[in-house]
């Protein structure tokens, strides 16, 4: 399955600059894991967490960091829909070629069943902690990457109560645990909401062009889609929308105009729901910063998004991305690992 590459630039087409071409970062392109026992101990409980609303470039940033700068690193997916196996286009999973040989955990690995229909925050807390332990045992650096902030909180909070929705309203919202289980470096990839929404609309169009509707048609026609009710992949944006569309087609004959109108209506719904998801994710990130007290290092991808949508050349878009998102992130992570 193919995926919509961030900014429309497949990773393999990104320019690779030599150390001499990057005067402000001459030492970073040859970064290797520290060899001493003291340095290894210093890193033993450290993890890097890349957060941000959907579409901002979290996956791209994590691959750039892991494949070009911090080679001794592995990625743990924290997107609660991408954890499930299937619907690779609809959930926009990063493909194997785009991973550039960077190991990934909890990406498309979970198969729901009648007895275990949904992967919960508690499941993620346990499974991701085990993955972090394995990565640390290999003396590598875990990068936790994804937009499901409830999963990230469940993993990182020293004390976690699955019965309390800290992102809800009322008294539960004041129940954030401020102590963390790990020594964390938080990178928050952000963008102007107006620009991000424009980008998300274009990304949905690109996903449709890649075959999202055909993928959904096959999924919804299978027994598998009904076996877990409204859990798991059923919650992916696009499933309910095109479920309605296909149901309308099954309910009776319709002319081409009516079918097209129904199709366009559901595509618009996917775009609106994706923008609403980004808004909710941003609200949760701010609460983790303000209520939980997480030290989030913000990097701004607005200019890179705008350049891509404005038709800028790939090289120019990549330069903006590297200057405004990648290079600041490299500084943040390097400082964290050296502390």
36-192+284-338 classified as CATH 3.40.50.300: yes
Residue 298 Cα distances to 158, 176, 325, angstroms: 23, 21, 9
Which ranges of the chain would DSSP assign to H, the alpha helix? Answer: 37-43, 58-68, 96-99, 121-137, 149-156, 193-210, 212-221, 239-251, 256-290, 302-309, 314-321, 327-338
Distance CA 70, CA 56 (A): 21
Give the residue from 220, 246, 273 showing the smallest Cα distance to 86: 220
The kind and range of the H/E element at 296 are: strand 296-300
Give the residue from 201, 213, 207, 206 showing the smallest Cα distance to 275: 201
Distance CA 71, CA 132 (A): 16
172-195 residue pLDDT tens: 667 899 999 999 999 999 999 999
Lowest mean pLDDT, pick from 2-6, 13-17, 55-59: 13-17
Looking from the CA of 18 toward its CB, the CA atoms found within 13 Å total 2
* Total residue length of the chain: 339
Ramachandran sector of residue 275 (left: φ over 0; alpha: ψ -120 to 50; beta: rest): alpha
* CB-CB contact of 11 with 5 (8 Å): yes
Query: Is pLDDT of 35 > 50?
Result: no
143-162 residue pLDDT tens: 999 999 999 999 999 999 99
pTM of the model: 0.86
- The residue ranges of every structural domain in the chain are 36-192+284-338
- With H, G, I as helix, E, B as strand and everything else as coil, classify residue 6: helix
Query: Is pLDDT of 232 > 80?
Result: yes
Q: How many CB atoms lie within 10 A of CB 244?
A: 13
Query: Is pLDDT of 83 > 60?
Result: yes
- Fill in the DSSP letter of residue 13: G
Query: Is pLDDT of 128 > 80?
Result: yes
* CB-CB contact of 281 with 54 (8 Å): yes
Query: Is pLDDT of 240 > 80?
Result: yes
pLDDT of residue 49: 98
pLDDT of residue 138: 94
Residue 300 β-bridge partners:
190
Give the residue from 123, 170, 156, 185 showing the smallest Cα distance to 292: 156
Contacts of 99 (CB under 8 A, 6+ apart): 63, 75
Distance CA 155, CA 206 (A): 33
What radius of gyration do the chain's Cα atoms show? Answer: 21
pLDDT band at 223 (very low <50, low <70, confident <90, very high): low
pLDDT of residue 28: 35
Residue predicted with more confidence, 34 or 27? 34
Which residue, chain included where needed, has tokens 């994804």?
146
Query: Is pLDDT of 247 > 80?
Result: yes
Give the residue from 122, 125, 117 showing the smallest Cα distance to 228: 117
Residue 185 β-bridge partners:
48
pLDDT band at 310 (very low <50, low <70, confident <90, very high): confident
* CB-CB contact of 288 with 151 (8 Å): no
pLDDT of residue 230: 59
pLDDT of residue 13: 38
């Amino acid at each position: 399955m193919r995926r919509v590459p961030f900014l429309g630039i497949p990773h393999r087409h990104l320019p690779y600059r030599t150390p001499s071409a990057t005067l402000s970062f001459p030492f970073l392109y040859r970064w290797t894991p520290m060899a001493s026992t003291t340095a290894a101990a210093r890193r033993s409980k450290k993890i890097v967490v890349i957060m941000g609303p959907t579409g901002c470039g979290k996956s791209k940033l994590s691959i750039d960091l892991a494949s070009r700068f911090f080679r001794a690193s592995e990625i743990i997916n924290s997107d609660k829909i991408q954890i499930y196996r299937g619907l690779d286009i609809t959930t926009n999973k990063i493909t194997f070629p785009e991973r550039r040989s960077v190991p990934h955990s909890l990406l498309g690995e979970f198969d729901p069943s009648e007895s275990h229909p949904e992967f919960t925050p508690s499941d993620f807390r346990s499974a991701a902690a085990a993955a972090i332990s394995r990565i640390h045992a290999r003396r590598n650096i875990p990068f936790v990457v994804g937009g499901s902030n409830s999963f990230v909180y469940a993993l990182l909070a020293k004390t976690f109560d699955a019965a309390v929705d800290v992102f809800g309203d009322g008294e539960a919202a004041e129940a954030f645990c401020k102590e963390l289980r790990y020594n964390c470096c938080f990178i928050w990839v952000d963008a102007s909401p107006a620009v991000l929404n424009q980008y998300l609309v274009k990304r949905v169009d690109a996903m449709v062009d890649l075959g999202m509707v055909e993928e959904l048609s096959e999924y919804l026609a299978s027994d598998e889609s009904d076996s877990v009710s409204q859990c798991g992949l059923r919650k992916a944006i696009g499933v309910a929308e095109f479920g309605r569309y296909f149901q309308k087609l099954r309910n009776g004959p319709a002319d081409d105009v009516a079918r097209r109108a129904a199709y366009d209506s559901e595509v618009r719904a996917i775009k609106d729901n994706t923008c609403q998801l980004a808004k909710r994710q941003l609200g949760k990130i701010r609460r983790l910063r303000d209520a939980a007290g997480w030290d989030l290092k913000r990097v701004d991808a607005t200019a890179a998004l705008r350049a891509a949508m404005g038709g800028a050349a790939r090289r120019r878009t990549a330069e903006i991305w590297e200057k405004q998102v990648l290079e600041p992130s490299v500084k943040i992570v390097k400082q964290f690992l050296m502390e």
